[in-house]
Amino acid sequence: MPARPPSSPRRRPLGTVTRGTTNPNRLRRMDRWIAAVHGPVLRRSADPVAVDLGYGAAPWTAVELLRRLRAAEPRTEVVGVEIEPARVAAALPYEEDGLSFVHGGFEIPLPPGPGPDPRSPDGRRPLLIRAANVLRQYDESEVAAVWTRLRARLAPGGLLVEGTCDEIGRRHVWVALGTEGPRTVTFATRLGSLDRPSDLAERLPKALIHRNVPGEPVHAFLRDFDRAWAAAAPYASLGARQRWIRTVEDLSADWPLAGPAAGGGRSRWRQGEVTVEWSALAPNSNETDAFKGT
C-alpha cells in the first residue's frame, strides 16, 4: 500500500472561549424563525448542513436545532462547533444520526459530507451558521471582521444568524446575514413578560448594543416602538398579542419592516416578533462593507 501522506499541522481555532452558559430551550425563538424562513433553502439543497457555533458547556442547543430543522427538512445535518476541547469531549456522547460535534472556531471546520465521494472538510460549506451569544464578549470593532469571515464560509444561498438572548430565552434580538451582508434585524419576545419594547435593548447584538444612544437609528427605532406600544394600550384588554400586533402595524408606517419572505409579516408578529430591514438600523458612523449590508 502507498505510504500515507503526512498530515498538515493542526491550526489553532479562530476566536476565544465563551462563558459557555446555556439552558435547554433557550434558543427556541431563533430556531423557529430560522426553520420558517430558511426551511425552503434547506429543502432545495443537496447538502443541507447547519452549524451551531459556540454551543457552550452543554450540547442542548445543537440537539434542539437538529430537531427543529429536521421538522422543516428531514435530511438536515447539524454540526456543533466549539473552541473549548473539553466541551467537545462532553458533547460526543450526544452524537446521533445527523448530529456531530467538532473542535473549532470562526474557521468553521466541517466533517466530510455523505456519499461515495465526500468533499473535503475544507471544501464543504454550511447553509446555515447560527452564532447565539458568541460575540457578546467581543469588542464592537471586532464584529465586522467576524461577520465577514463567517459569511465567507457560507454556501451559496446560505444564512448567518447572529444575536443575543437572555438566560431562558424570553427576549432575543438577532441579525440575519447572507453572503452579501446583513439583511434584517429581528426582535423576539415572550409577550407576557414585556413591559415595553425597549426592554429588548439589553439583548441587542454587539453590532448595535452600544449604538442605543440619541442620534443612532436603533435608538430612534426603540423610541418609536415604545410610543406605538403606549398608543396601543387600549388593545391590552384583548391580550398582549393583540397589543403587539397593533403596535407593529403602527410602526410599519415609519419603519421598513420585512415581509414574509424575509421573516416578517403578520404570522411572525403573532409569535411576538418584528423584523426590520438592516439598512434602517445600521450604525451611522461605521462605514465598513460588513456593516453596510443591502
pLDDT digits (tens, 9 = 90+) for 67-106: 999 999 999 999 999 999 999 999 999 999 999 999 999 9
The three cell numbers locating residue 19:
462563558
Mean pLDDT score, 245-266 = 95
List strand residue ranges (DSSP E) for the chain, in order: 49-53, 77-82, 99-103, 128-132, 159-165, 171-178, 181-189, 273-277
Angle between helices 217-231 and 240-251 (to 10 degrees): 130
pLDDT digits (tens, 9 = 90+) for 174-211: 999 999 999 999 999 999 989 999 999 999 999 999 99
The pLDDT mean for the chain works out to 90
**Percent of residues, the chain, with pLDDT higher than 70:** 89
Q: How confident is the model at residue 255 (pLDDT cuts 50, 70, 90)?
A: very high
Please name every residue paired with 164 in a beta bridge, in sequence order, or none if there are none.
173
Q: How confident is the model at residue 20 (pLDDT cuts 50, 70, 90)?
A: low
Q: Which is nearest to 165 in space by CA: 42, 267, 59, 29?
A: 29
What pLDDT, on the 0 to 100 scale, is given for residue 12? 80
Would you kindly state where each structural domain of the chain is located, as residue ranges?
15-111+121-169, 191-294
What pLDDT, on the 0 to 100 scale, is given for residue 117? 40
**Could you say which architecture CATH assigns to the domain 15-111+121-169?**
3-Layer(aba) Sandwich (3.40)
For residues 109-119, one letter each, b for 16 or more C-beta atoms within 10 angstroms of the residue's C-beta and e for the rest, the string is: bbeebeeeeee
Q: What is the CA radius of gyration of the chain?
A: 20
The three cell numbers locating residue 288:
465598513
